Amino acid sequence: MSSPFIKNTEDKTLTVGVIGLGYVGLPLVLSYAAKGYHVTGFDVDLKKIAALQAGESYIKHIDPGPIAEYVADGRIKATSDFQRIGEVDAVIICVPTPLSAHREPDLSYIEATLEAIVPHLKPGQLVSLESTTYPGTTLEVVKPRIESGGLEVGKSIFLVFSPEREDPGNENFAGPVIPKVLGGVSEDCLERGLALYGAIYAKVVPVSSPSVAEFTKLLENIYRAVNIGLVNEMKIVASAMGVDIWEVIDAAKTKPFGFTAFYPGPGLGGHCIPIDPFYLTWKAREYGLHTRFIELAGEINRSIPEYVVERTAGALNKLKKPVNGSRVLLIGLAYKANVDDMRESPTFELMDLLKERGALVSYHDPHIASIMPTREHAEWTGLESVEWNKENIASQDCVIVATKHDACDFDQLAQWAPCIVDTRNAMEGIETSEGQVIKA
């Protein structure tokens, strides 16, 4: 006989609470609302709450139309009042898990969330953690804190881990079409998790424990980080040999088996790839293990912004200009093309390094009009995107292409910029003068 939780999921009377309304949480809210569920979004950011209550989107690639529709008919509510956790049947936690200054896991957002919600949890609820973290977090950190409020996980309250797999701006793979990995603390927890996520996801993949699900997410992102580290190192070697790594990759990917194309860039960006590998390396040390391969890839990827700046210095030197005092414009603050997501963007590292060398640094990004406060790069807060026009670009001593946004006209860039350092192969196929473009 199915539980009331599962029955309510099937007849769509289940209410869902999503904590953290960023690039993961907001799409989740919209996915449940689209299927007819009532959803309450929780966040400490009052600007986000106000935007949702007004039916507006604060994430560029998310259409405000459905938000306005679902808010108007009552399917979506937004609040900063965590006492209202008691009003929902399922609680999904989507808060950040950054690194500390010592590159160790920072679970402060998870811990603060649990402190806020535990007094208001009620019997029968399901709690799901989606924040990327090290194996063991759900059992070692989340479960004890929930049970400190008097409820017993697996009996009176239920707990699962289901890692987010969002790829902002990817129209081919978004939200419910991406298979959902799920691990429950008990069979009853897993059963309820399957019902909750099966309501919106085309496929839910159950695994034997939350730790397996946690490890799965880390493996996915470490796979990418290691391969990006490899291709970034290959880029440096190829450049020294006078070989175009982009041409090499295009040739290699014609092999129909045994090769997956990864592409170099100015460094790692986004909330996951630069951070997640260190969650596993930190946890591995508890078992006396040294994850040398993963850490080496991290070292290579962290060194790439310095390599780009060195290439920039070399490009300026050919023009008989020092970095000190040169005007350098970076195209693209977002960490990837066609989004407004600047989390962990390598452009910040480039800006920091160039400023340290005395360059006069500016940026252009069609999706980010000005820099909002960040944890690591607060000194850039308030800097505004330079307008895209001939006068602004021609006045630069060097332009670095850090992100290849479709909205940027690289043909115009070739006509206007005297010196271009291209980290994204954006200038490929565009007519340029000899020595104008340096790949980095």
Distant-in-sequence contacts of 111-117, Cβ < 8 A, 24+ apart: 111/141, 111/145, 113/19, 113/20, 114/142, 114/145, 114/146, 115/145, 116/82, 116/85, 117/19, 117/82, 117/85, 117/91
Of 305, 347, 342, 307, nearest in space to 329 by CA = 347
Contact assessment for residue 95 and residue 60, using Cβ atoms and an 8 Å cutoff: no
Find the angle CA(38)-CA(197)-CA(47) to the nearest 5 degrees. 50
Query: Which single residue is written with the structure tokens 């006045």?
Result: 395
Cα–Cα distance measured from residue 426 to residue 439, given in angstroms and rounded to the nearest whole number: 10
Residues in Cβ contact with 107 at an 8 Å cutoff, skipping those fewer than 6 apart: 97, 133, 137, 141
Take residue 205 and report the two structure tokens written for it. 């993949």
CA distances from 53 to 47, 56, 64, 87, 93 (A): 10, 8, 12, 18, 20
Cα–Cα distance measured from residue 348 to residue 373, given in angstroms and rounded to the nearest whole number: 12
Q: What is the DSSP string of 370-401?
A: BPPP-SS-GGGTTPBPPP-SHHHHHT-SEEEE
Cα–Cα distance measured from residue 307 to residue 440, given in angstroms and rounded to the nearest whole number: 8
Take residue 17 and report the two structure tokens written for it. 């609470």
Look up 94 and say whether it is catalytic: no
Cα–Cα distance measured from residue 393 to residue 408, given in angstroms and rounded to the nearest whole number: 12
Q: How many CB atoms lie within 10 A of CB 160?
A: 28
Catalytic-labelled residue, pool 272, 398, 408, 419? 272
Question: Please, what's the largest Cα pairwise distance for the chain?
Answer: 79
| Helix 64-72 vs helix 25-34: crossing angle, to nearest 10 | 60
Helix, strand or coil for residue 271? coil
Of 262, 248, 270, 75, nearest in space to 165 by CA = 270
What residues are labeled active site? 272
